Amino acid sequence: MVDMINKPNKGPFVSLMTGLPGGGKTFLGILLVAAFFVPLSNTFLPESSPFYVPTYLVSLMGKYVCFALLALSVDLIWGFAGILSLGHGAFFALGGYAMGMYLMRQIGDRGVYGNPLLPDFMVFLNWTELPWYWFGFDIFPFAMLMVILVPGLLAFIFGWFAFRSRVTGVYLSIITQAMTYALLLAFFRNDMGFGGNNGLTDFKDLLGFDLQATGTRLGLFVASLIALALGYLVCCFITQSKLGRVLIAIRDAESRTRFSGYRVEYYKLFVFVVSAILAGIAGALYVPQVGIINPSEFSPANSIEVVIWVAVGGRGTLWGAVLGAFLVNWGKSYFTGSFPDAWLYFLGGLFVFTTLFLPKGIVGTAAVWIEKFKNKQQGSSPMQAPVPVKEEQ
Amino acid sequence: MLGLSKVAGVITGAAMLATSALGLGTAQAADDVIKVGVLHSLSGTMAISETTLKDAVLMMVDDLNKNGGLLGKKVEAVVVDPASDWPLFAEKARELIEVDKVDVVFGCWTSVSRKSVLPVFEELNSMLFYPVQYEGEESSRNVFYTGAAPNQQAIPAVEYLMSEEGGSVERWVLAGTDYVYPRTTNKILEAFLKSKGVAEEDIMINYTPFGHSDWQTIVSDIKKFGSEGKKTAVVSTINGDANVPFYKELGNQGIDAADIPVVAFSVGEEELAGLDTAPLVGHLAAWNYFMSIETEENDAFIKQWKAFIGDDNRVTNDPMEATYIGFKMWTQAVEQAGTTDVDAVRQAMYGQEVKNLTGGTAVMNTNHHLSKPVLIGEIQDDGQIETVWRTDDVVVGDAWSDYIPESAKLIADWTYPYVCGGCEKPMY
Amino acid sequence: MLSTLHPFIQYCENPVTPMRITIKTIIAAMLFLLATQGPAFADLTDAAQGLLSKKYSEKIQATEAIADFGDPRSIVLLETLLDGKLYATKSDGRLVSRKKVSDGYQITDILTEEDFGVVKSGDLTKIRINNKMRGLIKDLLGRLTLLNEDPALRLKAANAVFKSRPKEMAVPLRDALAAETEEDVATAMRRALAALNFVHGETTTIKADALLILQEQHGPEVKFLLNGEANKIAALQNPSHEIQQFALSIETALARIEEKLAFMAVIENIFQGLSLGSVLLLAAIGLAITFGVMGVINMAHGEMVMIGAYTTYVVQELCRNFAPDLLVYSLVAAIPAAFIVAGLCGVAIERSIIRFLYGRPLETLLATWGLSLILQQFVRTIFGPTNKEVSSPEWLSGAWEITGGLALTYNRIGIILFAAAVLFMLLLVLRKTSFGLQMRAVTQNRKMAASMGIRTGWVDAMTFGLGSGVAGMAGVALSQIDNVSPNLGQAYIVDSFMVVVFGGVGNLWGTLVAALSLGVTNKFLEPYTGAVLAKIFILIFIILFIQKRPRGLFALKGRAVEN
Amino acid sequence: MTMQLKESAEQNLSSILYLDGVSVSFDGFKALNNLSFVVEPGEMRAIIGPNGAGKTTMMDVITGKTKPDTGDVFFKGAIDLTKHDEAYIANLGIGRKFQKPTVFESQTVFHNLELSLKGEKGVIATLFAALNDVEVGRIMEVLNIIRLTEKAGDLAGSLSHGQKQWLEIGMLLMQDPDLLLVDEPVAGMTDAETEQTAILLRDISATHSVVVVEHDMEFVRALKSKVTVLHEGSVLAEGSLDTVQNNQRVIEVYLGR
């Protein structure tokens, strides 16, 4: 035995210092390399070099990195606490809108109607003054605070009700879907003051940096990578702590956890809010890189897709979720370009294949193989947050 | 632990390499072809409308190649699927321009998709042809708008209905999907109607979400609104999908075109193809093109289209004509400029003339909008729209509406001395 | 052929009837009015040639002239024109009607009934009419057929006069009313006469008398009339006392009508709510089986609905091409066809994918999502991305006018009945058949059921097939009110899940109550909030409701729900 | 009734668990019907009864999972259990073992016990929690009691059915409760395991109050405790096993009417 006894829980800081879960260091290493290599390559290498990363790819990867952070946030609640949110896109979009509102205010009088205070779409709707909820968004720190607060608060209120009422399983999934669907419809309304179907667009600059400039793109790309790395560390910190094990306990046997004296609803609420904040940050980084935020980000289909990224990569493995986000989105980019008429077959087929043949996702399945391989050679050792033996429902 | 981290490294590395390969694999553009990007959704909600336009571009390209190509080069269409996903539109636009190195792009349908790709085209100084009727209030240096602006569709239609021939309508329902095109159109119409002395209480405005399918209440409301003793008409800016259930409900609730005519700006032959139009005979549509128009050009175009698509029942519609005109103009401008260079072609575009399929000549103005005739037609029981009224002359597309105070003062003119898409005084 | 279509002609072949004179009176009245307008036409043929004009104003003159001649052939001509079945030959501009034959169209001169043989469709141009002409022709036909011997036509004529209210028709209408024997036609004529008098009456007394008759009716048309008159009076500079009194009585009548209409509106609202509820029920009921009973989070459910709708399309096309006589029944034939096609798809899906995923409901979500993408694209590849037309049979078109102001559309009534029938059949299958028993046994305790000799795999496949088949049948109904496009299913999937979850997973009654209550609530909210906000409120309501009852409306309590 | 109430009020103060007139119904079905009974501190009590007698519902009521429609439930004389939720009641000192062994299958045996450790169970405290030597010692001690020291590093999911039952009892011990509610602890165990379990529970009852629900009469006999028979949601008989086994009504209920 008994590395558990030799290595009892010394608290989350110690856990984080002494070792990340399987593959974590390599993962962080890759992020670090990318953070250095991509900007250097884009800036200094000639276009003809095989290692040159074109600006087009920088934006694309920046977008993927934001999706990866979103996937990570879903994995934190689904993989570890068993909360399947089919509405996480809502938090992503809210973070995005908060950032979009800042970027809108930055346009100032450079809009087509030249109104120094009101964004174009408000001028257009005959609004004469800025609605109260747009106040303060011209101040960057305030906007960033909102990026965290708005999704966090929504998650807190929603979670407070749902978890206290012990809404679980499919019921929870469906009401998260109802939440994002209701928000989708609400944001579609032009009267809401968020630009309706077109959303917020036509951004000019961020903190004085021109959004079209390659330098800004590189900066955003690196910022996204840093956010992803930090997000990953936060997730590791949580999942490696005792709290992480309580979450897994909740996932596997909720009543047992309750009868062991844990207020399950608070734990769920905590992790749900953390996850929503991560999703919000991802959204905020996403918006300046794609240049638009509109209600379609709230669509239930988008949220379901995020869950699929996690499932493809491997639930409960953290960096597996990141991998899943990269793979699926890269697949989407590639196939929509190369097989515009058939790409849905590939994508749909991938999902079916994954569930049938890689039920634990790519990383989970790889881990099982390695485990088997190791077992042949030596004794066994437990894994971090293994995929649950049985489903929670 | 070691094993897992190796897997992590290998897989993630492979993913990154593969991602790079996406960029690098197709980056070379051959010199002997001219590439045309096609950026229309082939899946998702907009596929219903946009796929047709993709096919239209492919047909034009095919035709061009059969006739010896352009500038002695072969023309190649690069088709991508932005999947009705607006940010994906921006990504795909960038891919087309930066990776595939296309010389021009034909694409977009919804306003939001156009807004999404606009910064990309401006940043990379490429050229987009946008073939759909839209809300105006925009003129980009990098976009040519070949669909109708509000003054080429909405205003003439309302004027027609106000006329004796159109039924002397006094009361108006402005029903639309809640997005920018109907909002703008209705705003312009409201201002226009009020300027014609229509009272506030004689205008009812109603917005519904995308894909709205239960029209019972709204159609009942329209009926009630129309029973107040004044001749009433509905001006519909309801978008795509929602039209079929709307018209089905209209037909079933027995709203007769003779009592309450509905004039639509987003309903063409293609939308009607999904409907039994017998109960809808007499309702109106305003466009710059109807398939039923008998001209030599149109007959040839319809014949070519049916042959290309291999289906005798397929219809043609206004955005297809807009695509046709845009494509023709671009090829003419390229030939005139002798190059596909964006700046040179843009200069050559101004004043470029193409014969409309409906007769007369379309001209590209310096505000990047076309001069086209406006037609008003009535829906027939065979799904066709028959012209009942047309402007005597072509109407110049207005980028900025005269009926909106903020935009009435703006001028779009991309030639000297203005050189701007929306300013009050010349730049130079 | 023509004589069977138009009883009027039969009647005209016998010239010695007193009615002939009456018609002449009408025509004389009209001639008086029309004589001053437009160019004179020598005879009917000449007038008919006027229809070939490109200008609608000229066509209108020709139309009026055709009616003026009062020739029995005028009616044939005008009816053909109104139906859009009047053509002109391109070669010599003859007005003809056409009939489809195997190698083209058999054409017949509309006036002489002379046969011109068979031509191609390209040789003919359709004589187009616009809204204004359409209204005019209806009006003219109404006047011409007011004394027709077919009561249905007389009724139509009376209603046409009611709508157009030509002043000069007062006298002929009174004569026709005097000769009328059918009670319902007489009522319509009385109404039309009242409308005429109300609008054109010389004295306020006549108008007030007309008002007394009119106010008994309470349709929106009457409201339209009354409002119009009220508007006119309001515009007068110095109305006399009498007129003011009259205006007051109009106001009273309007208030009464308004009251009745408000009551009708409530009934209409309930009906619309029920019909929306039935649509939700139809969309959700298949899901209540695949998701509710089997626990499969079936994201491809919407695609089963879509497959049902496309099956309807295919059945209709087959009918159209091979058995055009049966076209009216194609919708009925499509119901079993859609059930079988979607059901077989369901069985295939269950056997190839779902059966490996039992006990892992969240993974069924992913697999079926992938599947739904594939199915959408598959349909897009086969049928193309554009909408397909599924026409409504005659018996599902139009509305049932119960009383003025309350009309229930037949297709909505059909959907309510259909939803009820589907629910009933499903309950029957689940409660009364051995398959239903086996199905419940398997879902409650798979191992026990297996050991009792039930082929659980077969039951699973059949159950999933049943759920999918029912979804397919829903597709038949939805093809009547919505787009038949590859996206059809996507539009209903979220709503379907809401309904099933709101009602309580695994409970068909719950699904029924949930669907109907959501539908009715939505329709009652909509007039106040608009469609979007109504939907948002409904969603928020569901979210809050689930807090109160975390397992839906009809949830089992106690131990059974633990696992 | 008034007499009874006064009497029960006195019992109330001295008892560790006190139920009076508890009724619960689900959709018209009365799971508990005016159930009253008392457990004294340090007592071991066995509860038997046919299926549907209300045994598990009674446990649910005591542990706060189900709120009774009527009736009082008091712990340690004065604490009204109907006002609290499961987690609070667990921290008060009532541990519960489920009918079906429920452990955290994807975590190790050691972690299972660590999670059950008595102590601060707030979110933030748990996030920063670290084990000290005393706590490790306590875990090792319980591992020893439940004979799973060798399996400390194994996943709980890999244990045999009997071992899972033991692990769950061990988890209860980690909570160091004053009252243990044990639902069918020997279901699916071998005879030898059953015997060991009985010994274990007897040992535990030396320092804790224990309520055991069980079907296995041999096991109940081995517990050597007072027995309460439940039937249709209320107490049918109470006393030693021999007394109740000879009770005419109990025989009727068990053998059928």
Q: What is the mean pLDDT of each run of 10 residues along chain D (257 residues)?
A: 47 76 82 86 86 83 87 85 87 86 86 85 84 85 86 86 87 88 83 84 86 84 86 85 83 68
Given a contact cutoff of 8 angstroms between Cβ atoms, the answer to whether A88 and A303 are in contact is: yes
- DSSP symbol at C328: G
- Structure token pair of residue C319: 């009918």
Average pLDDT, chain B: 86
Contact of A23 with chain B, judged by CB distance below 8 Å, is answered with yes
Do B100 and B123 fall into the same domain? yes
Is C74 within the bounds of a domain?
yes
| Gyration radius of chain C's alpha carbons | 31
Nearest to C40 by CA among C62, C72, C24: C62
Contacts of B208 (CB under 8 A, 6+ apart): B175, B176, B177, B178, B215, B218, B238, B242, C530, C531, C532
- Average pLDDT of span B230-240: 88
CATH of the domain at C376: 1.10.3470
- State the total domains in chain C: 4
Whether this prediction's pTM lies above 0.90 is answered by no
Is B368 within the bounds of a domain?
yes
Do B136 and B185 fall into the same domain? no
Is C252 within the bounds of a domain?
no
Do B119 and B185 fall into the same domain? no
Do C64 and C3 fall into the same domain? yes
Helix (H, G, I), strand (E, B) or coil at B389: strand
Do C72 and C109 fall into the same domain? no
Contacts of B75 (CB under 8 A, 6+ apart): B33, B34, B35, B36, B61, B64, B65, B69
Do C541 and C554 fall into the same domain? yes
- Structure token pair of residue B301: 């175009």
Which amino acid would we find at residue A303?
S
Do B128 and B268 fall into the same domain? no
Side-chain-side CA neighbours of B414 within 13 Å: the count stands at 22
Which amino acid would we find at residue A54?
P
Which chains share 3+ C-beta pairs under 8 angstroms with D?
A, C
Contact of A345 with chain C, judged by CB distance below 8 Å, is answered with yes
Q: Which domains does chain D have, with CATH numbers?
A: 1-92+225-257 (3.40.50.300), 100-180+192-207 (3.40.50.300)
Given a contact cutoff of 8 angstroms between Cβ atoms, the answer to whether B399 and B136 are in contact is: yes
What is the distance between the alpha carbons of residues B422 and A159, in angstroms, rounded to a whole number? 48
Nearest CA-CA distance, residue C179 and chain B, Å: 30
Given a contact cutoff of 8 angstroms between Cβ atoms, the answer to whether B60 and B325 are in contact is: no
A75 membership: H or E segment, kind and range: helix A55-75
Tell me the per-residue pLDDT of A257-280, one tens digit each, with 9 for 90 and over: 888 889 999 999 999 999 999 999
B206 contacts C397? CB cut-off 8 A:
no
What ranges in A189-292 are assigned the alpha helix state H?
Answer: 214-240, 242-252, 254-259, 264-290
Nearest to C198 by CA among C250, C123, C146: C250
**Alpha-carbon dihedral of residues D162, D166, D167, D171, nearest 10 degrees?**
150
Indicate whether B106 pLDDT > 90: yes
Q: Where are the beta strands (DSSP E) in C104-245?
A: 104-109, 115-119, 124-126
Is C160 within the bounds of a domain?
no
Residue D53 pLDDT: 79
Do B198 and B267 fall into the same domain? yes
Contact of B408 with chain A, judged by CB distance below 8 Å, is answered with no
B98 contacts A56? CB cut-off 8 A:
yes
- Checking A335-339 for CB contacts under 8 A at 24+ apart, the result is A336/B80, A336/B81, A336/B82, A336/B83, A336/B88, A336/B92, A337/B22, A337/B80, A337/B81, A337/B92, A337/B95
Contact of B102 with chain A, judged by CB distance below 8 Å, is answered with no
Which amino acid would we find at residue B353?
E
DSSP assignment of B266-281, as one string? S--HHHHTTS--GGGT
Burial group, residue D2, by CB count within 10 angstroms (0-12, 13-18, 19+): exposed
Do B142 and B156 fall into the same domain? no
Do C7 and C137 fall into the same domain? yes
Indicate whether A390 pLDDT > 50: no
What is the distance between the alpha carbons of residues B115 and B90, in angstroms, rounded to a whole number? 9
The number of C-beta contacts closer than 8 angstroms across C and D is: 10
Q: Which domain holds residue C100?
A: 87-126
Peptide bond into A151 cis (omega under 30): no
Q: 47-66 in B: which are within 8 Å (CB) of C?
A: 47-48, 51-52
What is the distance between the alpha carbons of residues C83 and C133, in angstroms, rounded to a whole number? 12
Is B410 within the bounds of a domain?
no
- Structure token pair of residue B69: 């190509």
Given a contact cutoff of 8 angstroms between Cβ atoms, the answer to whether A227 and A69 are in contact is: yes
Side-chain-side CA neighbours of A351 within 13 Å: the count stands at 31
Nearest CA-CA distance, residue A203 and chain C, Å: 28
Tell me the per-residue pLDDT of B46-87, one tens digit each, with 9 for 90 and over: 888 899 999 999 999 999 999 988 998 999 999 999 988 888
Residue D255 pLDDT: 62
Residue written as tokens 């009309």? Answer: C407
Tell me the per-residue pLDDT of A53-88, one tens digit each, with 9 for 90 and over: 888 888 889 999 999 999 999 999 999 998 999 999
Do C204 and C74 fall into the same domain? no
Do C380 and C467 fall into the same domain? yes
Which residues of chain C fall below pLDDT 70? 1-40, 218, 404-405, 555-563
CA distances from B294 to A86, B298, B357, B358, B386 (A): 53, 7, 9, 7, 11
Is C234 within the bounds of a domain?
yes
Do C205 and C66 fall into the same domain? no
Q: How many CB atoms lie within 10 A of CB C358?
A: 16
- Which chain A residues touch C297 with a CB distance below 8 Å? 170, 173
B9 contacts A57? CB cut-off 8 A:
no
Do C553 and C450 fall into the same domain? yes
Nearest CA-CA distance, residue A214 and chain D, Å: 41
Helix (H, G, I), strand (E, B) or coil at D108: strand
- Average pLDDT of span B199-222: 87
- Which chain A residues touch C498 with a CB distance below 8 Å? 174, 178
Do B252 and B338 fall into the same domain? no
What is the distance between the alpha carbons of residues B156 and B286, in angstroms, rounded to a whole number? 8
Helix, strand, coil fractions of chain C, as percent rounded to 5? 70, 5, 20
From the list A188, A345, A355, which residue is nearest C357 (CB)?
A: A355
What is the distance between the alpha carbons of residues B284 and B263, in angstroms, rounded to a whole number? 4
Is C172 within the bounds of a domain?
no
Do C80 and C101 fall into the same domain? no
Q: 10-29 in B: which are within 8 Å (CB) of A?
A: 11-13, 15-16, 18-20, 22-24, 27
Is C229 within the bounds of a domain?
yes
- Average pLDDT of span B215-223: 88
- State the total domains in chain B: 2
Is C249 within the bounds of a domain?
no
Which amino acid would we find at residue D5?
L
Q: Which residue of A has its CA nearest to B45?
A: A296
Do C91 and C75 fall into the same domain? no
Tell me the per-residue pLDDT of C316-333, one tens digit each, with 9 for 90 and over: 999 888 888 888 888 899
Given a contact cutoff of 8 angstroms between Cβ atoms, the answer to whether C157 and C173 are in contact is: no
B12 contacts A323? CB cut-off 8 A:
yes
Tell me the per-residue pLDDT of A36-50, one tens digit each, with 9 for 90 and over: 888 888 888 887 778
Residue A103 pLDDT: 93
Do B233 and B358 fall into the same domain? no
Do C113 and C139 fall into the same domain? no
Is C63 within the bounds of a domain?
yes
Contacts of B45 (CB under 8 A, 6+ apart): B84, B210, B211, B240, B241, C487, C490
Do B156 and B283 fall into the same domain? yes
Residue C337 pLDDT: 95
Is B306 within the bounds of a domain?
yes
Is B412 within the bounds of a domain?
no
Is B260 within the bounds of a domain?
yes
Contacts of A106 (CB under 8 A, 6+ apart): A138, A203, A204, A205, A206
Is B405 within the bounds of a domain?
no
Contact of A7 with chain D, judged by CB distance below 8 Å, is answered with no
Q: What are phi and psi of D155, to 5 degrees?
A: -70, 140
Nearest CA-CA distance, residue C115 and chain B, Å: 26
Nearest CA-CA distance, residue C558 and chain D, Å: 6
Q: Which domain holds residue B158?
A: 152-292+377-390
CATH of the domain at B325: 3.40.50.2300
Per the rule left: phi > 0, alpha: psi between -120 and 50, beta: everything else, A261 is left
Indicate whether B163 pLDDT > 60: yes
Which chains share 3+ C-beta pairs under 8 angstroms with A?
B, C, D
The number of C-beta contacts closer than 8 angstroms across A and D is: 128
Contacts of A143 (CB under 8 A, 6+ apart): A98, A99, A101, A102, A136, A137
pLDDT confidence band for A226 (50 / 70 / 90):
very high
Please report, rounded to a whole number, the percentage of residues in chain A having pLDDT higher than 90.
39
Is B8 within the bounds of a domain?
no
CA distances from A215 to A293, B121, D72 (A): 22, 19, 71
Chains D and B touch (3+ CB pairs under 8 A): no
Is B425 within the bounds of a domain?
no
Task: Pick the residue of D59, D102, D106 with the most A CBs within 10 A to test the interface with A by mutation.
Answer: D106
Which chains share 3+ C-beta pairs under 8 angstroms with C?
A, B, D
pLDDT confidence band for B2 (50 / 70 / 90):
very low
Do B200 and B333 fall into the same domain? no
Q: How many CB atoms lie within 10 A of CB C399?
A: 17
Q: Which residue of B has its CA nearest to A327?
A: B15
Do C107 and C36 fall into the same domain? no
Contact of A76 with chain D, judged by CB distance below 8 Å, is answered with no
B27 contacts A50? CB cut-off 8 A:
no
Task: Pick the residue of A124, A188, A339, A343 with the most B CBs within 10 A to test the interface with B by mutation.
Answer: A124
Give the residue with greater pLDDT, A18 vs B339.
B339
Indicate whether B288 pLDDT > 50: yes
Do B271 and B318 fall into the same domain? no
- DSSP symbol at C355: G
- Structure token pair of residue B260: 């309450």
ipTM here: 0.87
- Which chain C residues touch D65 with a CB distance below 8 Å? none
Tell me the per-residue pLDDT of A281-331, one tens digit each, with 9 for 90 and over: 999 999 999 989 989 999 998 999 999 899 888 888 888 899 999 999 998
Do B133 and B236 fall into the same domain? no
C490 membership: H or E segment, kind and range: helix C490-503
Nearest CA-CA distance, residue A171 and chain D, Å: 20
- Which chain D residues touch C557 with a CB distance below 8 Å? 26-27
Residue A74 pLDDT: 95
Nearest CA-CA distance, residue D145 and chain A, Å: 17
